[in-house]
Structures are given as C-alpha cells and as structure tokens.
Amino acid sequence: MIGSINQRNFMFLNAYFGTGTSTKSKTESVGFEHHFASYKDFPKGDLKMSEEEFEKAIFELGQKEYNLGIAGNGRPSKEMQRLMMSYLSSVAPDRDKIITNALNSIPFRLRGSQLGYSEFYNANGEKIADYCPKTGWTKVGTKAEGIRSAQFYSFYIAGIKEAMNAEKSANTSAPITGIAIDEKA
C-alpha cells in the first residue's frame, strides 16, 4: 500500500519528479478542487482560441446566460464548464504526466498494492491533485489556475452586467403606448 511506503521514498519522488505525497492537511491547499473518476480525466491541453477570442466568448456567454435566466443560479452550465476548462488549460500543470511519473517510480513489488491517500505536487511545490480510496481523485487548482479563473469570471460578469444594462435601458426607454382599463370595475 502506498500509504505504508516510508516518508524517505516519497521525499525522493517529490525531489526527483516534483511530485509525491505529504502529510499537509487539505485546508493548506490553494485554489479549487474538482473530483474525477481517474486522474487521466484531468483536463490539460493547448488553447483552442486566441486570448481575444476567449475574452469575447466568455463575455458573450455571460450575456447569453443572463438573457436565458441561468447566470448566477449557483450551478455553472455545461457550456460554461467546458469554456472554463479550455481557458484554464493554458496554465494547468500536466497532472497526467506528473502522477504517472510518480506512480511508475513506486518499486515494482508495491505497484499491485492498493493506493492509499496520496497527494501530488508540481515542480513548484504546489499541490495539484490527491487520491483518497473512498472518494477517488481530486484535482486541486494551482495559484496560476486560480488567477486565470478570476480573469474568466471578470469577463463573464462583465457580460452579465452589459446584458443587465441593455435590459434596463430597453425597459426605461420604451414609450408607454396606453393603459388598459377594465370597464367592468
């Protein structure tokens, strides 16, 4: 079981690959966390759009979701999640590679053992993921991902504000054409 490997072995993993496990508590991690069935599901890739195209797409998504009445309902839409993951991918560490390297460096005789609670770190010493036998894999956001996430939301909220202002000005500039009177009253 990986949890039973002595701390010296994990310090080697951390020093050599920039990964490893630690006894740090979850409250010490920075950023956001997302649960995945497999660490192979952690998103990472190249930007599919230029920065300007991303800003425009995020802004327009904020407008669209406000007009549909789904912006700010506490649950991000699938479209928003996909756009966010794509936007974050430019600064996301290659979690798959880091975790695979760490797991492959476990002595062969221990590889068949059940993986215990483990934390994985990038070369900068930032926790990027953890594994718990009961809950599975958790992606932990890095500082760079947190900053980029804040940028995403600033564009998204600007789109919402623009849509709100457009709605407000449309409602206040519309002339009153008549008043309906109920003659039976």
Q: Left, alpha or beta for 69 (phi > 0: left; psi -120 to 50: alpha)?
A: left
Distance CA 107, CA 125 (A): 23
- Please write the tens of the pLDDT for every residue from 23-51: 333 333 333 445 555 666 565 666 678 99
- Please write the tens of the pLDDT for every residue from 50-67: 999 999 999 999 999 999
Amino acid residing at 122: N
Under DSSP, the state recorded for 114 is: P
148-180 as b/e: b if 16+ CB within 10 A: bbebbeebbbebbeebeeeeeeeeeeeeeeeee
Question: Domain limits of the chain?
Answer: 2-22+29-166
Provide block-wise average pLDDT over 10 residues at a time, the chain (185 residues): 31 34 35 54 68 95 93 84 89 88 76 76 92 86 93 94 91 59 55
